[in-house]
Amino acid sequence: MQHIITIPLTHIRRDQNQPRSHFDAQALLELADSIKQCGVLQPILVREDPEKSSHFIVIAGERRYQASKRAGLKEVPCLVRADSIAQVRSIQLHENFNRENLSLAEIIEGVREYKAAWLAENPKGKLTNKALAAAVGQNTTFISRLLKLDSAPVTLLNAVYEGTINNINVASNLTDLHALSPETFESVWGEYNDGQVTGSFEKHTAGILKNTKILAEGGLVLPECNEYGVFDTKHESVQRLRFSVDAFCFEILSLEVEKGVWICAYDCYFHHSYSSSPLSIKAKDRYSSQREAELAMLTKWIVPAAKFACRNLPNHLHSRFRKLFAEFNRLLDNLAGEPELPKRVKPVPEKINGGETTISVCNELCAVVGTLDAVYRALVSNFNKSPEQANKALVSSLKCLMVDVENGSLSCSTAT
């Protein structure tokens, strides 16, 4: 049966291999004030010092030991135990895990100390991750990730021991990433050191590691889907085919979702006509290549949409639309054909008879009279035309002028 005894503080020393190497100074001062008023309420766990008779080494309760010295106590209550080194390390790790968070570096060293002590006491034994996890009060996943750090790159270990990296999941992800692709590790590490990583670094490293594993296994990295199954088209794995000429443009989006399996979507804007389709995991049409997917989008959707849009196309856009169809034919090996553009009929100028003189209301008359207002007044006053008839004649003449300008048959001096 163990008994609590009082031991002078001068006969007690700290364990140099204690996992915790740092204690919060403010917390120690507060504990020292409490000890001054109430004393040490819980005994300090110690073991006999093998180097000095009647002297002891702290197993658990170092904070109370340090605070007692600051409080000016001469002696403290202790519980002496005859534990093996491995048991001592186990007790220390349990205490520190349960009371204050150890740094990742302190945990690594503590577990290493426990493993070394256990193997020294059990040279023919095998320490499993499950037994190690139970001994230090953690789960097997934590222990597996911790032991993985034995193969971590030096740059990462330095960051762990400097306290820059104190998350076991981040350290484990980066260690695995380095093993899979040192180049990718260096890239991620450079982004981290340059402050280019926003949000959770743990999620960032987990995502990079996942994609690197997929690529290493010959798989494909897909963009994220929203709640409707539509892919993020900004992802680097989405392939694009674009063409644009003024008011006419189209874009085809292709994504390989499995080896040799492609899905496709499109966006097109032709003058005032717009149509598109989503890049969705639910897409029924699947293609064996990116080229096949692009040709399907062109023949099924984009070219028909362009042909529909050109039915009422203004004459001044015809040449640009022909450029669009030239691109279609280049992509489709001349299978797109030619656009059926609307034909423009040149209006016949209206002739107005006035007594012995016949006046043609057309560009020549405008050049002679000078202004539309003068022509209008002449039609009404000199040729007895109603305002409606005069307006109609002027509109017809203006249409003729527009056609002449478009066809290049009217000179600037005449138009003026």
Q: Flag whether pLDDT at 410 surpasses 60.
A: no
Q: How far is CA 294 from the centre of its chain?
A: 26
What percent of the chain lies above the pLDDT cut of 90?
12
pLDDT digits over 68-103, tens only?
Answer: 988 888 988 888 887 666 676 666 666 555 555 667
Q: Pick from 174, 172, 203, 198: which is nearest to 186 by CA? A: 174
Whole-number pLDDT of residue 363: 40
pLDDT digits over 311-367, tens only?
Answer: 777 777 888 888 888 888 888 888 777 777 776 555 555 554 444 434 444 443 433
Q: Which regions of the chain carry the CATH code 3.90.1530.30?
A: 4-140
Distance between CA 205 and CA 155 in Å, rounded?
16
Distance between CA 251 and CA 244 in Å, rounded?
9
Q: Flag whether pLDDT at 404 surpasses 60.
A: no
4-140: CATH, from 3.90.1530.30, 3.40.50.450, 3.50.90.10, 2.30.42.10: 3.90.1530.30
pLDDT band at 292 (very low <50, low <70, confident <90, very high): very high
Whole-number pLDDT of residue 239: 92
The verdict on whether 406 is a catalytic residue reads no
Q: Which two tokens stand for residue 96?
A: 């520190």
Q: Flag whether pLDDT at 120 surpasses 80.
A: no
Distance between CA 354 and CA 357 in Å, rounded?
5
pLDDT digits over 166-211, tens only?
Answer: 899 999 999 999 998 898 899 899 888 888 888 889 988 988 888 7
Q: Sheet of 248-258: strands edge to edge?
A: 239-245, 248-258, 261-270, 273-276
Active-site entry in 30, 48, 51, 62: 62
Q: Which two tokens stand for residue 339?
A: 């656009």
How do 239-245 and 248-258 pair as beta strands?
antiparallel
